[in-house]
Structure 1
């Protein structure tokens, strides 16, 4: 009996030892294989992809490849170590904890990688694509969007770790985030309106820096800067007007610069009754064509508009290349018309009024 038990125990122990040795060999093989595969991937990224990206004109493609290199290397390595533990007795009691820690570590590695890629996109790629724009909005908008994107990556990654890996219900977190978002939106609705107004101006581009515009309120000026919250306009008196983008986005705006910078200038001139109309027109045309600011194409025009209360009223229509020359042009036109009319003997009338007084006989 004792011999039988002794033989049985020896047989079991030898079987267990052989089983342990074979499982340890498999685990070691998996670890070594993962190291080899990870090394090959690292070599491919380092020697092949980085070499070819260094030959391109773009800077950010090499940066992105460099960022992906280590996460892929660590993913293969950690995965190999985790799978090798399945062939040991150690993981049987701690499989959930060890697996959760391993996957959590991988998620964190990739969250960091995505944040770094996001930073490259907003710092390198998008500025490269928008460098031809003449507004300053993207200088303020891109950092804001970059921060929002980074927060979203961290938040969604954190929820994925809790829900996918550890099995924690994240619905209450979503509900809390929604309530917090509504509260923030109500508290900052004016700022949000200005933000979306700035985004609307950026994509619609009704004007750009340097354009001469007229606001719905009648203010005229040069666009000095288009920001994410407000637009700055330098008016004709060299004063800075700061207008919230939410107002501009919902206002009617006249752009004197786009799509063409040339501008039609109209001014009126009156002469006395009895003046020779053709002589007046000839004098006005002569004056207009003597001014260099007036474009020859489209051709200027003089029109006899109406009979005024005490004058014959003419309209002068002239095109100029730069809208900022409007005031200067009107000054030149009026000054030279006065000289030309004086030479030609054309009278500029004074306003006159004729009074009729009715006489009444008063009898005693």
Structure 2
């Protein structure tokens, strides 16, 4: 059954429709040109991708080709209507009917290749599908929106990944420059470089593979950026070590001298305490200075023979830390052992203070109290001094004086 016969448009309807179509034609043309100038579209057109990105590229190219084909047919149909309207002479019924067919009827015939597969038959060559101007605009709108979504999504992914990739390549250059200043090779930097080359090829070849769900996954890139930053710091530290190596070694040597002095003092204090204090003394710590001196000598031998400055930087860092720890431990040992003498001196001071209090209370002639004092004094002034027994004797003397003091107050 054919389409229902449409009454011809009036002259005013024709002119209003043509004015609308001219404006629509300009806007569609501008939108298509802007699409092709879009950065994401340019990236896609200039790339030779693979995988999912290649599939998207193929779909976008197919849609854009269909868009331009439809737009060209649309422009021709509008131009034909303008030509009919511009003919000289009276705008009679026949011309109005022709304009009505062009403006509102199926005036656009698509090439047979544009007919969707599901509309084709096996044994005949399909004729072109016919569309009205309005249907052509609706189809162009759908194609354009699908293309913009695909290009926009790809542009967001690609821009994010390429931006991060540029940062990492800058970090790689900085690390490479640090290595060049230092000289030699660095296996870790080579490993990071190979990893970056592989990821960069994937970013440029199939960025959508790194964007599950449309969200860029930058975890591998972030890991590489951190690795290059660490490598640069390590190489720069090695260069600083090379330039200031002699002073660093002298610094370690000075620390070792202080360790030896502290360990010698610990021995002296321990000997003194052992002679003056009876009872257990904290065990002596093994002296660290000989082993540290050996490590420093080995490091110095390696430096004279050349070699890897990055490894040497790590070793001297470790040696500096170990020397500082040994100095702290030796000084702590001195303080711990010396604390026993300080404890004895504290007990002596407390005994003298209570003797003064006892004299003030008139206890100088009291045999019991005086006996307790003499016992505590003998323990505290005898070498070696038994601190435990002296503490007990002093406590007994303190309680006796305190009891008499309380009785006097009462």
TM-score (norm 2): 0.27
Question: Which structure has the larger Rg?
Answer: 2
| Greater RCO (CA < 8 Å, at least 6 residues apart) | 2
Which structure: greater strand fraction? Answer: 1
